[in-house]
Amino acid sequence: MSTAAPPFKPFNLALIQLGQTGPDKSANLAHARDLILEAASGDGGAKPKPDVIVLPECFNSPYGHVHFPVYAETIAYTPGQPYDVHASASESVKLLAATAREAGVWLIGGSIPERDAADKKLYNTTTVYSRTGELVAMHRKVHLFDIDIPGKITFKESETLTGGTTMNYFDTEFARIGLGICYDVRFPELAMTYARKGCQVLIYPGAFNLTTGPLHWELLQRARAIDNQVFFSMCSPARDMSAGYHAWGHSMIVDPMGKVIAETEHEEDIVYARIDPTVFVEARAGIPVTKQRRFDVYPDVSRGL
Ligand SMILES: NC(=O)CCC(=O)C(=O)O
């Protein structure tokens, strides 16, 4: 059983739709740091100083199964156990922890290819840092992106990656935030379970493509937001037509009524929004679906029939 979620308070969210500098991981990390520090300063107006900053999926590596083994890092984090980011062997963890601390923000560090210390399997993994640079949560993409749309796109993460086996959320001083990565958005059960565990906000770094992006990227986020009456947000890489994978971009933030409250196009950019719990409270009061579920009618919802 999960503990009570923190009271939901207003906060500011920023998504960094990051472009990659090229195949050099260290250069990509340095670029990410620059943009995190830029985002963190805000401007007090249309760009409110963020409490949470998010990076995109696979931000330090080209996105493709041939690249994952080459860029993979070992993190060796066990939830609930103390973790020394300084002793970590992972270049990305060290950089993200130090930058979260420098900026004084909660940082959802996009995702990186990760190699498990024990079984050596590869995962697509998000790490989360507190304002003091502690690693507080980690999520391994649960649903792997294996699709085949003839003539359009074929992608098989499972050629090199393994799916994660746990749900993961973290508590801040203003909200409980649930984590997913990209293709995880297609599975309403995951988002619903997060919401039922008290998450008021769900954030999934992602990288949709030019076939499914135009049709599904916004629709899925608005659907998950409305299903669960939560804030829902996905942060994409910027589109690079010279890369092997062409990301849709359009990083966005959706409120619990399904309204897109912030969005960008496909270039490198930073998206800012104020997260206002009033919308969450009013959505749930006006349309009380979270209290009207009929698990007596559909008890098999979680049994995988
Ligand atoms: N990186 C991903 O999981 C891509 C998911 C995607 O594009 C989709 O259509 O789903």
Q: What mean pLDDT comes out for the span 48-58? A: 97
The hierarchical CATH code for the domain 11-40+48-289 is 3.60.110.10
Buried b (16+ CB within 10 A) or exposed e, 144-169: bbebeeeeeeebebeebbbbbeebbb
Share in percent of the chain as helix, strand, coil (round to 5): 30, 25, 50
Residue spans of the domains in the chain: they are: 11-40+48-289
- Expressed in angstroms and rounded, the spacing between residue 211 Cα and the centre of ligand 1 is 10
Q: What H or E segment, with its residue span, contains residue 147?
A: strand 146-149
- Expressed in angstroms and rounded, the spacing between residue 145 Cα and the centre of ligand 1 is 6
The pTM of this model reads 0.97
76: left (phi over 0), alpha (psi -120 to 50) or beta: left
Strand partners, 234: 204, 252
For residue 206, the ligand 1 atom closest to its alpha carbon is 1
The pLDDT of residue 81 is 87
Whether 141 is a known active-site residue: answer yes
- Encode pLDDT of 181-219 as tens digits: 999 999 999 999 999 999 999 999 999 999 999 999 999
Q: What mean pLDDT comes out for the span 214-240? A: 98
- Encode pLDDT of 120-179 as tens digits: 999 999 999 999 999 999 999 999 999 999 999 999 999 999 999 999 999 999 999 999
- Expressed in angstroms and rounded, the spacing between residue 204 Cα and the centre of ligand 1 is 11
Catalytic residue, chosen from 25, 73, 114, 182, is 182
Whether 235 is a known active-site residue: answer no
The pLDDT of residue 299 is 86
How far, in Å, CA of 160 to CA of 162, rounded?
Answer: 7
Q: What mean pLDDT comes out for the span 262-286? A: 98
Sheet (strand 260-263) strand order: 168-171, 176-179, 201-205, 231-235, 252-254, 260-263
Whether 49 is a known active-site residue: answer no
Catalytic residue, chosen from 141, 157, 199, 218, is 141
